[in-house]
Amino acid sequence: MKTLVALLTLLSLSHRVDAQAYCALRDPNRQIFELFPQADSFRSIVRTIGEATRQDVAERLPFTLHFNELGRHTVYVAQKEGQTLGLVHVRSEASRWGLVEVAWAFDLDLRVHGFLFQRCRDRSKPLFELSEVRSRVNGKNFAELEELLEPDGMALRAEALPLPERGLALGTALVRNGLKTIATTESAWADDIWQLRAESVARRANATIREVVALRRLYGPEVREALTSAIGPNGSGVVRAESRGWELLDERKAWVGRLLVTRWQHSPYDLELYWVSDEHGTLTAVEVQGAWPDPDLRLAIESNVGANLGAHFECAGSVELLVHEVLLTLERPAPESPAR
């Protein structure tokens, strides 16, 4: 029976074929350590880029992945002493003189940390070593990179990159490739990125945390009931369908708290917020994905660090309502054995 299951599973992978024989695959060792010089190791995460990812990319861009780009692919997590520094993802792009392979480095917000041409036969490649060009690409997120291209995605906008005429074709290929790589990573490696972000936030909040274990069910009946009763029908702006939670364990595998990620939509804000609580349910840290949109909001939210349900506070405004919802969601019995 197990053999049959194994065979069926194997066959179910049939659409994930890669055209290249696997003996030809090589890790981009040199590129990883050049993009993250402080790294001391890396680890591979292999996932399937399938039709769903292709659709996701097509919804965000005026172009999408070629069918030859589907299959099993690797994102590399650059690490130092076990802590994540960022991601490296190598993707290819058709160009006039053959495929260009670009090794992209991203931080966990998927902003460009750096890039290297792993393989490029275009004679204009040296132009992209110039700091004036690199500085226009590095640090950009998806939306900012997208602004470098014309709306149809077929060419760079005028003055987008300081390139002479002979470098524009490769520049266009580079930016298209970067956008495709970010969109692909966010789609096919979504769960992995959430996990890496959660581990990173948790360890910043509490250096003793060693394991960050995803909660399979965030909103049980009790939590739903408590939220309905306390928050009311209009909600707090938290998009509960997008919330995620984790149990936090220290090196002795003792439970030391929880981490909650909430998407908060409250005009004019639309933020991903990370909330860390300790084993007593007290908020110990809060972070935002990306940058805070304004310092007053940051102050208003961060001033709730130290709050818990035991020390009742007034739900006077939208931030207080948000924090109340977060505390209610985090509040639950300590796990006997965290779901793994």
Partner 1 sequence: MIFTNLTLLGGALLASGLQSTDAGWFASWLENSRWTIDESVRVVVDGDGDVATLAFFGLDIHKVISTKNGDIATLVLQPTLARVDSLVPTPPIYDGPDDWEVVWRIFNANIKLRQDGALNLRVGHLELPFGLETVLDTNGTLRQYQLAPDFGFKADWGLSLNGETDDVEYELAWTRGSGNHYRDDGEPGLISGRIGTSRYSDRIFGLSVADGEVLTPMGVVERQRVGVDAMFYRRNLGLFTELSTGSNGPDVDIHRALVEANCRNPEETVLGWVQLVGSDFDGSGAGADTLDSRLGVRWDPAKGWTMGVQYTKNLQGEGQADGAGSVAFQLRYRF
Shortest Cβ 13–partner 1 spacing (Å): 5
Query: Could you tell me whether strands 41-49 and 71-80 are parallel, antiparallel, or unpaired per DSSP bridges?
Result: antiparallel
Residues that bind partner 1 (CB under 8 A): 2, 5-6, 9-10, 13-14, 16-25, 27, 29-30, 33-34, 40-46, 66-68, 70-72, 74, 79, 82, 94-99, 118-119, 121, 123
Shortest Cβ 201–partner 1 spacing (Å): 17
Shortest Cβ 130–partner 1 spacing (Å): 19
For partner 1, the closer CB: 26 or 312 = 26
> Which residues face 156 on adjacent strands?
149
For partner 1, the closer CB: 94 or 226 = 94
Which DSSP helix (H) or strand (E) runs through 263? strand 255-266
For partner 1, the closer CB: 34 or 331 = 34
Greatest pairwise CA separation for the chain in angstroms: 66
Shortest Cβ 55–partner 1 spacing (Å): 16
For partner 1, the closer CB: 103 or 256 = 103
Contact 175, 222 (CB under 8 A): no
For partner 1, the closer CB: 71 or 139 = 71
Shortest Cβ 121–partner 1 spacing (Å): 5
Where does the chain have alpha helices with state H? 2-12, 29-35, 51-60, 131-137, 142-146, 168-188, 190-205, 221-231, 295-302, 318-330
Contact 229, 256 (CB under 8 A): no
User: Which residue in the block uniquely carries the two structure tokens 């049959």?
Assistant: 4
Contact 245, 215 (CB under 8 A): yes
